[in-house]
Structure 1
Amino acid sequence: MAEMYEDDDRRLDAAVSLGIISAEQAAAIRALAPARRATTSPRPVDASVIGYILGAVTVLSAMGWFLADRWDWLGAGGVLAVVGLYMALFLGVAQRLRREGFQTAGGLAVLLAVAMVPIGVVALNELTRWIAADVPASCRNSRFDLVFDFHLGRCRGLEIVVELATLAAALVAVRRVRFPLFALLIAGLLLRFLFHAADAALAGELGAVGTGWVWWIAASLVTAGAYVADRVQPRGEDYALWLHALAVFAAATASAMLLGEYEVFRHLLPPAALVAFLFSLRMRRMPWTLLGLGWFVAYLGWLAADVFRDTPVFPIILAALGLAVIIGTVWIQRNAAMLVARFGVISPDGRPTFPGGAGLLLLPVLVGALQLPAAAALDAANRRGMLARVETQRRQAAAADSTRETPPPRRP
């Protein structure tokens, strides 16, 4: 089926180059065929893919168990030797599998080899003692150490070196092996450096609220990256799928952390859900539909549990709203072709587009960056309040112990 659509694309491109039709007409024809996405969509999850994933998880679990249980017995040198043996084994198996045509299984084997890099770096550092493994207490509130920890080999130096080495290995692997799952690993490691930068900028005062805003920034960055990947990735390789999934995870995490502190944000959940639905329709990505459903259900749950808990009319209104949603869904199904032609793929090359492009998707980064200083102050105030409550409880307990009368001794 995918080959058929690729042939249709080539015919349309040839017709445009020969002047038979215009580029706008070709784009309109592509927009009327939702199945055009079959050239870039991932294969359906079948038994083989599930088996590959289960096998990879089993290998990682066994490997982690063995190294954690036998680290002291093997020593750093022995661990390093085991890591090298594992990597050679994984790469050899990957080469054989890919030669036989099992691209997914071979890609997972390469991914397992990359997963050995952090263990190897930790073992190598244990041998050489280049970077202190224990974080000094002075690093927790020192802006200088947090900014220059990598160069000084203190604070988070080992953590950052491990992440840099894993990122370098993943970048090398993805250039050799076209395996889309590497996009998730690389993006996740880059987000770690975003959190390091935010922690350094806030002098170690990054708390729950600040972390929520960093996740907000991460969601914007990864969403823009997913959009760019959707626009430039080769046919048949869906790197953007994993970026969209990571962006949805970041957005859900940010909303969960921020809604608890900013109650007014809860009223933004319905419009945010609508934006997620429209973005899902535009980009043809199911994770955004699931995020929109989650936001919508969360808002209804908040209304039912807190706002209208004692209002007997609310269940009737909620039932009417549910019925309206069902009717709207039926209307969308009946007018799917018109909606796809109007809001779906409109670019001449048949790829999804979004009004404003990556620039508009990056605007939340500015909002989050402007909120970080206030979030750090709020986290500091929350931390002081928590310490004050703990101190008050300690004093009350001490006072209760001092005023408690000692019971008289029992007579024999």
Structure 2
Amino acid sequence: MRITRKDLDDAVNKHILSAQQAENLDLYLQSLPSVGPSFNFTNVLYYLGGLLAIGAMTLFMNLGWESFGGWGIFFISLAYAAAGLKLTQLFESRGYAVPAGICATFAVTLTPLAIFGLQQALGLWPDASSYQEYHRYIKWQWIYMEFGTLIVGTIVAWRYKYPFLIMPIAVTLWYMSMDIALMIAGSSAHFELRALVSMYFGLLIILLAFWVDFRAKGKADFAFWLYLFGVMGFWCGMTAQYSDSEIAKFVYFCINIIMIGAGVLITRRVFVVFGALGCSFYLGHLAYDLFKDSWLFPIALTAIGLLIIYFGVLWQKNEKMISEKVRKILPAQVKDFLDSRGN
């Protein structure tokens, strides 16, 4: 959590800290380097401008660029990327971390456009589809652009180490999960197969995110975007699976409960949000399908809700004791990681 001056003043009023201790602690906290961007007007302007520039060269790219031809698109993309990296160096040298990260990300997002232009120039593009369709449709030919983006994104992220650089990598991995399903089954890939590939690919990205989070503990949040798109891919793929079995639906509910618990344990809200959605879907299934028109269901659900509240009270009373017992059986590295996450 972020400690404000008001929190320190409240601690002084409650005689937890002296006024001098609060003042010294406030000065110390202000001297610490920021591990992530804060929500203020300056950063809103940074990200608004950066996202407009990124969107112009990705989501909002129009057919007018086709007139430059393959080589034109390729070299213009390289020029834009070089300008983005030059600005990254400039901002980095002057200590502006947020705009430096945005400019480096802008350079990475030009990779698929450059590869598209190169493929067209070399006569390797398989059909008449345009770059506009890259962010709209699932096609196997995007895979070269995606692999190239992963390689360039990894190199640039290794060089500059800004968390926002993980965003294009995470988006590309998400795109790949859909395109690989099409490559496996061809144009006849059915919805269930795509959902299955998305689920397992999302799980792999979550594991990658946890590894990155574990390695970067105490540093900047490099795992945020991987968690976001990994959970999104896993949860959407899992939710899209269809089964008539009530046991399978209950397992789905249990997995969402586990996601909520994991999110609380490692303080990642994305797990909690999607887990809560999944639980809501399951309870909606019970209300509208399994126990339709049953007067007992609302009563039972109310009782379950009150029971969960009671368990919450018990947990609050015994959290310290339970946590200490659990931590005794955990490896030292895992305990350090949980401590770094504020647990």
Name the TM-score, length of structure 1 as normaliser: 0.62
Residues 159-206 of structure 1 show CA distances to partners (whole Å, capped at 9, x for unaligned) of 222122222211220121102233343344345555555444445542
Q: Tell me, in whole angstroms, the C-alpha distance in 2 between the residues paired with 1:65 and 1:219.
A: 23
Q: Pick from 284, 290, 311: which aligns with 1:328?
A: 311
What residue in structure 1 maps to residue 94 of structure 2?
100
Aligned counterparts, 1:51-62, within 5 A:
51-62=45-56
| Alignment size in residue pairs | 297
Q: Tell me, in whole angstroms, the C-alpha distance in 2 between the residues paired with 1:122 and 1:131.
A: 8
TM superposition shift of 1:310: 0.8
Q: Tell me, in whole angstroms, the C-alpha distance in 2 between the residues paired with 1:92 and 1:252.
A: 39
> How has the CA–CA distance of structure 1 residues 259 and 101 changed in structure 2, closer, same or farther, with 3 Å as cutoff?
farther
Residues 326-349 of structure 1 show CA distances to partners (whole Å, capped at 9, x for unaligned) of 333333334333344344694424
Q: Tell me, in whole angstroms, the C-alpha distance in 1 between the residues paired with 2:304 and 2:94.
A: 54
> How has the CA–CA distance of structure 1 residues 123 and 202 changed in structure 2, closer, same or farther, with 3 Å as cutoff?
closer
Conserved in 2, the CA contact under 8 Å of 1:183 and 1:243? Answer: yes
Conserved in 1, the CA contact under 8 Å of 2:174 and 2:229? Answer: no
What residue in structure 2 maps to residue 224 of structure 1?
207
Conserved in 2, the CA contact under 8 Å of 1:230 and 1:351? Answer: no
Conserved in 1, the CA contact under 8 Å of 2:196 and 2:238? Answer: no
Conserved in 1, the CA contact under 8 Å of 2:256 and 2:276? Answer: yes
Residues 85-94 or 126-135, more deviating: 126-135
Q: Tell me, in whole angstroms, the C-alpha distance in 2 between the residues paired with 1:112 and 1:285.
A: 26
Conserved in 2, the CA contact under 8 Å of 1:131 and 1:157? Answer: no
Structure with larger RCO (C-alpha < 8 A, sep 6+): 1
TM superposition shift of 1:252: 1.6
Name the TM-score, length of structure 2 as normaliser: 0.74
Amino acid at match of 1:46: F
1:302 aligns with 2:285: yes
Q: Tell me, in whole angstroms, the C-alpha distance in 1 between the residues paired with 2:141 and 2:202.
A: 26
What residue in structure 2 maps to residue 312 of structure 1?
295
Aligned counterparts, 1:307-386, within 5 A:
307-343=290-326, 346-349=330-333, 350-352=335-337
Percent of aligned pairs with the same amino acid: 22
Q: Tell me, in whole angstroms, the C-alpha distance in 1 between the residues paired with 2:318 and 2:90.
A: 49
SS in 2 for 1:236: coil
TM superposition shift of 1:57: 1.8
What residue in structure 2 maps to residue 46 of structure 1?
39
SS in 1 for 2:163: coil
SS in 2 for 1:101: coil
Conserved in 1, the CA contact under 8 Å of 2:262 and 2:271? Answer: yes
Aligned counterparts, 1:12-411, within 5 A:
43=36, 45-47=38-40, 48-64=42-58, 67-134=61-128, 158-190=141-173, 192-193=175-176, 195-233=178-216, 235-259=218-242, 264-343=247-326, 346-349=330-333, 350-352=335-337
Q: Tell me, in whole angstroms, the C-alpha distance in 2 between the residues paired with 1:70 and 1:200.
A: 30
**Structure 1: gaps spanning 5 or more residues:** 3-38, 136-155, 354-412
Superposition RMSD in Å: 3.3
Amino acid at match of 2:276: L
Residues 300-346 of structure 1 show CA distances to partners (whole Å, capped at 9, x for unaligned) of 11112222221122222222222222333333334333344344694
> How has the CA–CA distance of structure 1 residues 291 and 339 changed in structure 2, closer, same or farther, with 3 Å as cutoff?
farther
**Structure 2: gaps spanning 5 or more residues:** 3-31, 130-138, 339-343
